[in-house]
Amino acid sequence: MKKLLSSLVVILIVLLVLWALTGWYFGVKAEKEFKSLLQDSSQLVGKHFVRVELLDYKRTASGAKASLELSSDYPALNDRMKDLQLHVKLLNGPIFITHTGVSVGSSLWVLTVVDSSLNSMGGSADKVRKGYKDIFPEGLPSAVVRIDFEENAHYVTKLETSLSHLLMTGVFDFKTQNNRGAISIKNFVVGNIPNFISAENIQISYQHQKAITTRFKPGTASLQTSSLKIHHKNLSKPLILDVKINSNIFLENNDLKGYLKANIYNVSSDVEIEEFLVDKADVSLKFEGFPADTLIAFSEANDNLDNLHQQAQWVLEELGEVPEGQDQIWQLYNQIEESTNILSKLLAEKIRGSGSMKLHATTYYKGESSSLDGSVRLQSKQLKISSWLSLLDGEAEVELDKYVLRSIQKFLPVTEHKFKLLLKDNKVLIAQ
C-alpha cells in the first residue's frame, strides 16, 4: 500500500512538474508571438485607423497581462479614442475552459477595450463614457484569440455598435501571415429617418496574404446581402436591392493585379425612382501591372503631406496670432510645396508606361440596356500628390438607353445616347 501511495505521489509530482514546464514554455511562446504581432502591425506603411502601443506586460502564474494604448492617425477618430486602452489577458495552454466549452492550444488571449479614465475614477471597466455611447451603446468591444499548436490564431470578435451588430471569426497564420475569415453584420442601419439605408444581414468573407500597407492587402474578398433597403422621403416604398461583390487582388513580383465584379438586382415591387432606372447592373473591373512600390510611395507621400497640413492647422489655431506661430506656418507651407514638387517628379518617373485597367458596366431597365466600356492607364503628367485621380489617364465608350438618357439630361449636357468619357489632367470630360 505504501509503495502504491509512493508511486502515486511520484506520478503526481512528475505531472505537476510537466504541467509547470509546459505552462512556462507556452508562456514564453505566447509572449514572443504577441510582441511579434505588435511589431509587424506597427511596420505597415500608411495611415492607421488604429495604432497600438505596448504600455505594460507582466507574467502571472497562469500566463500574462498586458495593457496597450490605442490611438489613430486620423485626428477626428484619435480624439474619440482618448483614454481608451486595450487590456489583454494571456492564459497558458494546453487546456482552456471557457463559457463555450473546453478547447486546447498553446495560449488563449482575452482582449477587452476599456476606458482608463473610468478606472482612475473608480468606475467599472464595462461602462461607456458619453464620448463613446453613441458608437458603442451596448459596451466597448472585446475579442478572444486561441493559439493552436501549429501557430494559428483563431479569433472571434464581437462589436455592437449604433450602426449594426458585427461578428468576426477567422484564422491568422503566424508563420505565413495569411489571414482568412468571415464577417456577419446584423441589423445594419446608416442614416436618419426618412433617408437611411438598412439591411437585416450582410455576409463578408475574406482571405488575404501578408499586408504590405494599411491600404493594400493582397487576397480575395466577397460581399453578399439580400434585401438592402434604401429609404428616401420621395419614395412611397423603399428601394430593395440584392448585392453580390467579389474581388481578388494579388501581388506578382512587384506588380499588383486583380479584378472586382459586382452584380446588383433591383427586387423592389412597384417602386419608381428616376435617379435609379435599373432592374439589374453588372460591373467588372480588371487591372494589372500597377507597381506596388510606386503605390506605396504615393501612399507615404499622401500621409506625409497630411501630417504637414495637420501641423499647420494646429499652429494656425494655437499660435496663429503671434509672430512665432506665423513664421512656423510659413515654414510648414514651404515644406508642403517643396515636398509636393519633389515627390511628384520622382513618382512621375516611376509610373511612366506601367499599369492598365479595363472597366465594363451594363445596366438593364424595362428590356433595354446601357453600357460603359473603358480603359485606364497610369500617367505621369499633371501628377498631384493629394489626388489619387491624378495618377490615372483613360477613356470610355458610353451607350445609354432612352430612360437613362432622359434622366441624365436633367443635370448633364448630354445630347446623344452615345458619347465618350475622358479622364485627363485630373478631370472627367464628356466628348460627343
Q: Give residue 22's pLDDT.
A: 56
Q: Give the pLDDT confidence score for residue 330 in this predicted structure.
A: 79
Instruction: Spell out the residues 6+ positions from residue 298 whose beta carbon is closer than 8 angstroms to its own.
Output: 347, 385, 388, 391
Lowest mean pLDDT among 51-55, 78-82, 139-143, 402-406: 78-82
Q: Residue 325: enclosing H or E segment and its boundaries?
A: helix 323-351
Q: What is the pLDDT of residue 125?
A: 42
More confident position, 26 or 287: 287
Q: Is the pLDDT of residue 245 over 90?
A: yes
Residue 20: phi, psi to the nearest 5? -65, -45
Cα dist from 365 to 237, 243, 396, whole Å: 19, 17, 21
Treating both helix axes as pointing N-terminal to C-terminal, what angle do 292-319 and 323-351 enclose, rounded to 10 degrees? 170
Which segment of 115-119, 255-259, 402-406 scores lowest on mean pLDDT? 115-119
**Is residue 383 pLDDT above 90, yes or no?**
no
Q: Where are the domains of the chain?
A: 1-177, 181-273, 277-432
Amino acid at position 44, single letter: L
Per-residue pLDDT, averaged over 397-423, amounts to 85
Confidence grade of residue 423 (pLDDT, cut at 50, 70, 90)? confident
Task: Identify the residue with better confidence: 156 or 270.
Answer: 156
Question: What average pLDDT does range 23-47 have in this prediction?
Answer: 73
- Provide the pLDDT confidence category of residue 7 given band limits of 50, 70 and 90: low
- pLDDT higher than threshold 60 for residue 23: no
* Per-residue pLDDT, 377: 80
Q: Identify the H or E element spanning 220.
A: strand 219-231
Q: How far is CA 398 from CA 212, 297, 370, 430, in A?
A: 36, 34, 8, 10
What mean pLDDT do residues 389-400 have? 82
> For position 25, what pLDDT does the model report?
60
Please tell me which of 1-15, 170-184, 292-306 the model is most confident about, judged by mean pLDDT: 170-184
pLDDT-above-70 percentage for the chain? 78
- What's residue 181's pLDDT? 94
Query: CB-side exposure of 51: number of CA atoms within 13 Å?
Result: 17
If pLDDT is split at 50, 70 and 90, which confidence band does 263 have? very high
pLDDT tens digits, one per residue of 201-211: 999 999 988 77
pLDDT score of 75 more than 80 = no
Contact 351, 393 (CB under 8 A): no
What is the rounded CA–CA span in Å between residue 145 and residue 107?
Answer: 8
Beta bridge partners of 25: none
Work out the average pLDDT over 134-142: 74
The set of long-range contacts for 213-216, using a CB threshold of 8 Å and a minimum separation of 24, is 213/44, 213/45, 213/46, 213/295, 213/296, 213/299, 214/44, 214/45, 214/46, 214/47, 214/48, 214/49, 215/46, 215/299, 216/249, 216/256, 216/292, 216/295, 216/296
Does residue 358 carry a pLDDT above 60? yes
Q: Is the pLDDT of residue 267 over 60?
A: yes
pLDDT of residue 20: 52
The predicted pLDDT at position 233 comes to 81
Q: How far is it, in rounded angstroms, from Cα 347 to Cα 350?
A: 5
pLDDT at 120: 47
Q: Under DSSP, is residue 174 helix (H, G, I), strand (E, B) or coil?
A: coil
Mean confidence (pLDDT) of the chain? 78
With cut-offs at 50, 70 and 90, classify the pLDDT of residue 273: low
Which segment of 185-194, 277-286, 376-385, 407-416 scores lowest on mean pLDDT?
376-385
**Residue 68 cell numbers, joined:** 496597450
> How far, in Å, CA of 170 to CA of 177, rounded?
13
pLDDT at 279 over 50: yes
Do residues 169 and 155 make contact, with C-beta atoms less than 8 angstroms apart? yes
* Cell reading at 67: 495593457
Residue 86's CB is within 10 A of a number of other CB atoms, namely: 22
Greater model confidence, 47 or 175: 175
